[in-house]
Amino acid sequence: MAEPQRVLEPLTAAAIFLVVTIDEGGEAAVRDLLTQHPALQKSVGFRNPDTELNLVIGIGSDAWDRLFTGTKPRELHKLPAYDGPKHTAPSTPGDLLFHIRGEDHGPCFELAKMIATSLRGYATVVEETAGFRYYDKRDLLGFVDGTANPIGDEAVQSVYICPELDPDFVGGSYVVTQKYTHPLEKWEALTIEEQERVIGRTKLSDYELPDSVKPPSSHIIMNTINDPDGVQRQIVRANMPFGTVGTAYFGTFYIAYCNTPSVIERMLERMFLGTADAPYDRILDFSVAQSGSLFFVPPIEFFGNLPAAPADVANESDPVVIPAFEPVIRANAAAEGSGPAAGSLGIGSMKGSQA
């Protein structure tokens, strides 16, 4: 199998979710940035070995058509919007996803800043969420989040594209992101037992509730889906809480990987449009979907050998300028009018042409 991007990493202490849209005429510069994956991550990660910095890049359907010619991943399309009897989920613009993870927020921030700075003028950041690992890996509803994720071989089979699914993109994956906000005062007005029936697990000890107690509208039931042969379909989630206490802005950044978007979309259909037994997932009474996008996650080798660009995209662009890593303090530089102002970031290029 082609070497996949490092999708199956354990939950880290920090994450930054960056979604950008490509500006008109920015395609060549974006292609240039893509060729610098995974060097970009290494340039921050190597100096911070304890951080276990990890960057996964996803590409949206419209962006794919603007950036590349040739074969497109079979199931790459825009995430549909869901309009249910009570709750809705929007489909929001997203050309590229940068899923940055690490044990320390600082290097994650540094990498996000390098990406955003180098794309300035070529792409616009439309979504930026800093997530954190809450105690016991709980979400802000207070429940442990991620327990039922598959592990080992089962995770590998669930997440990476095999030749039968798409022979041209073996080792790739699909990822869906959605930002949810939680009206916590409403949630906290429930008793613990009521909350447990919304999720389908016990709150403190994270046990799955017996079937006799779990309502059909519980989050667990809504998201347990089986193929006609009875095999359960799995996805790998890496949700992170986010929030600001002063404005009582609380939420979960939902992110899930799978070798086909159809599994995640079936789950969303059940959650928002309901099943024969329940009108919608009860978690939605306490979780409001604010964004939603779908991306293809190519294997690593893709970035070193991008498909040809469409005719109207120049194959050569001025190299994307990657900001230098350290503040460059140059005495008198500002006064002399040469180089960056004292105390500002010096500019250098990973391609070494703009030093």
Q: Is 199 in the site for ligand HEM (CB under 6 A)?
A: yes
CA distance linking residue 40 with residue 55, whole number of Å: 9
Candidate list 32, 95, 139, 145, residue with the active-site label? 145
Assess 321 for contact with ligand HEM (CB under 6 A). no
Residue 205 or 338: the one with the smaller Cβ distance to ligand HEM is 205
Cα(287)–Cα(183) distance, integer angstroms: 7
In whole angstroms, how close is the CB of 234 to ligand HEM at the nearest point? Answer: 7
Residue list 251-280, contact with ligand HEM (CB under 6 A):
252, 254, 256, 264, 267-268, 271
- From residue 125 to residue 164, what is the string marking binding to ligand HEM with x (rule CB under 6 A)? --------------x-x-xxxxxx----------------
Q: Which residue has the tokens 């292609």?
A: 31
Q: Which pair of tokens denotes residue 202?
A: 């016990």
The sign one gets for the Cα dihedral 119, 123, 125, 131 is negative
CB-count burial class (<10 Å; 0-12, 13-18, 19+) for 89: buried
Select the span of 49-57, 114-122, 124-132, 232-240 touching ligand HEM (CB under 6 A). 232-240
Residues in the chain, overall count: 355
CA 118/CA 154 separation, integer angstroms: 37
The distance from CA 102 to its chain's CA centroid, rounded to whole angstroms, is 14
Dihedral (C-alpha) 320, 326, 329, 334: value to the nearest 10 degrees?
A: 20
Contacts with 210 (C-beta within 8 Å, 6 or more apart), sequence order: none
Interface segment toward ligand HEM; rule CB under 6 A; list 33-41, 114-122, 162-170, 217-225:
217-225
- Smallest distance, Å, CB 140 to ligand HEM? 8
Instruction: Name the one range near ligand HEM by CB under 6 A: 19-27, 37-45, 215-223, 305-313.
Output: 215-223
Contact 92, 292 (CB under 8 A): yes
Among the listed residues 22, 235, 297, 309, the single contact to ligand HEM using CB under 6 A: 235
Any catalytic annotation for residue 32?
no
Give the residues lining the site for ligand HEM (CB under 6 A): 139, 141, 143-148, 178, 180, 199, 201, 219-220, 223-224, 235, 237, 239, 252, 254, 256, 264, 267-268, 271, 283, 287
Catalytically active residues are 145
